[in-house]
Amino acid sequence: MEPELSIVIPLYNEVDNVEPLYADVTAAMAELGRSYEVIVVDDGSRDGSFPRLADIHARDERWRIIRFRRNFGQAAGFAAGFDAAQGEVVITLDADLQNDPRDIPKLLAKMDEGYDIVSGWRMDRKEPFISRRLPSMMANRMISGSTGVALHDYGCSLKAYRREVAKGIRLYGELHRFMPALASWMGVTVAEVPVNDRKRQFGASKYGISRTFRVFLDLITVQFFLGYSTRPLHVFGGAGLLAGGLGLLIGVYLTFVKLVLGQDIGTRPLLLLAVLLVLLGVQLVSMGLLAEMITRTYYEAQNKPIYAVREVLGPTLDV
Ligand code: UDP
Ligand code: MG
């Protein structure tokens, strides 16, 4: 029998958090009274987390453990968990006890209203302002503004997804922070609920201040993928036409100056600009065409659909 809920927890070097996590989740889920499985993805821990997890699995079969060969990062952890998840609803959680499993019923109540993703919002965060909350606030603004999925707290791991939505998100690098935005290509409804934020008691955070810059770069990737991954020529070609067109105009003007007015143009900076713009235009358009070919390989080699179906009335051609 499939469980109703799958709880996915990426875990990396959290040895002292394993037992409290088990106790916390189990207590919260006992109150809720729905069937569930927990998928802990041990992301290559080297601090003895795995034997503790194995011990829990031996006690409680609902806890499934996936152990990575090495540290692949939190996004890979989520991806492995999503692949393995069987529940109708998939809930993600941090292993370090900063999220409170007692908030899970709140997320589920919101899911029952029909949303595809419900995101936790840590309204009262317990972390330092300058190094953590300020960059996070700016990142949330930027991601919300440019991806069109407005959330106050992208960084909160406590989120709930409908199974087919979770399985439709393709994660790379550290893009797990953008999961609701990445899911938006399918056309999803997203809601937020305030959740509890707790201080980390055991172990240390795995990320430093450099995360801020990586998030900014990732934002460019996500925006490109969301907007243009099926039509890259529209980005490159657009810029290319603009540059090339402008270069051509300047060229025509310079030709006029030379042939009609009879002035020398060899020393004019404008000539250099015209040549630069025309070359740039040609380069950008051909880059766009190359990107179009890569896009076709990307979608067709993996049989990736360019659409997502909500439901079908009447027979389908699926076998
Ligand atoms: N984590 C992971 N792999 C990594 C880094 C982190 O699975 O490479 C897990 C970690 O064990 C924790 C969660 O991801 O459960 C969030 O990490 P952390 O608490 O360090 O991030 P922060 O709360 O400081 O943003
Ligand atoms: Mg944490």
Taking the chain (319 residues) in runs of 10, the rounded mean pLDDT of each run is: 95 97 97 95 96 96 96 96 96 96 96 96 90 90 91 96 94 93 93 95 91 91 89 94 98 96 94 97 97 90 80 72
CA-nearest residue for atom 23, ligand 1, is: 205
DSSP, collapsed to helix, strand or coil, labels residue 185 as helix
Per-state percent for the chain, helix, strand, coil, to nearest 5: 50, 15, 35
- CA 112 – ligand 1 centroid, Å: 29
pTM for this predicted structure: 0.88
Structure tokens at 65: 């453990």
- At residue 318, the pLDDT reads 62
Structure tokens at 58: 């031996």
Distances from the Cα of 212 to the Cαs of 133, 152, 236, 260, in angstroms?
Answer: 11, 16, 27, 57
The answer as to CATH 3.40.50.620 being correct for domain 5-228 is: no
> 110 CB contacts (<8 Å, ≥6 apart)?
118, 160, 191, 193
Q: Taking the CA of residue 14 as centre, how many other CA atoms within 13 Å lie in the half-sphere pointing to its CB?
A: 24
Q: Is the CB of 44 under 6 A from ligand 1?
A: no
Q: Is the CB of 153 under 6 A from ligand 1?
A: no
Atom of ligand 1 nearest to the CA of 96: 15
Q: How does pLDDT run across 21-35, given as a tens digit for each residue?
A: 999 999 999 999 999
Question: Which phi and psi angles does 17 have, rounded to 5°?
Answer: -95, -15
- CA 133 – ligand 2 centroid, Å: 13
- CA 206 – ligand 2 centroid, Å: 8
- At residue 319, the pLDDT reads 47
CA-nearest residue for atom 16, ligand 1, is: 94
CA-nearest residue for atom 24, ligand 1, is: 205
What one-character DSSP code corresponds to residue 12?
S
- At residue 301, the pLDDT reads 86
Counted residue by residue, the chain has a size of 319
Which residues face 40 on adjacent strands? 9, 65
